[in-house]
Amino acid sequence: MREFPASFPIGSTNIVPATVLAPMAGVTDTIFRRLIRSQGGCGLIMTEFTSSHGVVASVRGKKPSKTEKRYLCFEPEEHPISAQLFGADPAVMADAARHCQDLGFDFVDINFGCPVKKVVRCNGGSGCLRDLPLIADILKAVKSAISIPLTMKFRAGWNDHELVFVQMGKIAEDLGLAAIALHPRTREQGYSGKADWSRIAELKANVKIPVIGNGDIITPEDAVRMIQETKCDAVMIGRAASYNPWIFRQIDEYLRTGAYWQPGEQDRHEIMRRYFTMLAESNWPEAVGKMKQFTSYFTHGVRNGARLRAAIYKHHDTGPILDAVDDFFTRLQHVDEEGTVDSTVAA
């Protein structure tokens, strides 16, 4: 498949392939990241965005805090991996970045894109987009505190009348950042409307450091089209990966063959059982909640998935949830093999 880069650099590390799992709050914890890694095709993974103040509290307390245990734990198979931080205090951000380096992360990424009100109220995430001098101060402080590469992810601006993405890119380049990622919606847009890929193209035309494009990549065809339309160096995929954890594998297949495998119901059974078993074995207090959350994602396209969701939502332990998953898909298979109608799965 023409024009899609085979890799892209972040500092001295070559990321292969040129695909990135976006940091997503409540989604990209260590278990989900390892699930994505197991499917193949993803070059770089990132943590959920993490409060710099929470990280520093861990350092000052001289023992892992809830923030560190929840957001910054990772396993060797997750490399290369980037720790994403948010905050608006340069000194605190620098201390947090230094700690992430000490934990063994390959890169540190700063979030200037989150549009959530409680984050923006603290001048974190996209709240910083109205204060470019503060952004420069944060980048300078963090860059001087670490020796591993620094990157950042940001939105196009506060709204369509306050676009700062080119200025952001130039600040990053001037301060020696290794790569940048642009989600071309504005903070005002949130997750609504269409991501304007022409802004990614404009950013790429104005900087020499690698540009990662993000926003509205749902299929492998979208990934290829973004590269062709914007000339960006890599693609970052977020929400689509939450309900289609095979998307990076599909992109790889599409680039090699021009076609790609589509998961069937048995594949969705296997991915649910694999992920839910990992959650059950983790002993996380939130394991049951995660199972219920991801049932909504993983039943995307499954016949009568609402029935499975209803069955799972009434349980409060991991064992019965796993049993419900197995029972549902076994009944589906029975319907297909016998050609009979089972009232527990039929609409």
Catalytic residue, from 42, 114, 128, 232: name it: 114
Query: What's CA 327's distance to the chain center, in Å?
Result: 31
Give the 3-state secondary structure of residue 187.
coil
Catalytic residue check, 114? yes
Closest listed residue to residue 96, CA positions, set 78, 106, 109 = 109
CA distance 99 to 57: 11
In contact, 184 and 156? CB cutoff 8 Å: yes
Running DSSP on this structure, what letter comes out for residue 304?
T
The Cα diameter of the chain in Å comes to: 68
* Amino acid at site 321: I
Closest listed residue to residue 178, CA positions, set 153, 202, 213, 203 = 153
CB atoms within 10 A of CB 201: 18
CA distance 223 to 197: 11
> 11: phi > 0 → left, psi -120 to 50 → alpha, else beta; which?
left
CA distance readout (Å), 127 to 85, 124, 181, 232, 296: 14, 5, 17, 25, 30
Give the 3-state secondary structure of residue 33.
helix
- The strand pairing partners of 111, in sequence order, are 153
Residues 6+ apart with CB under 8 A from 160: 186, 188
Active site residues: 114
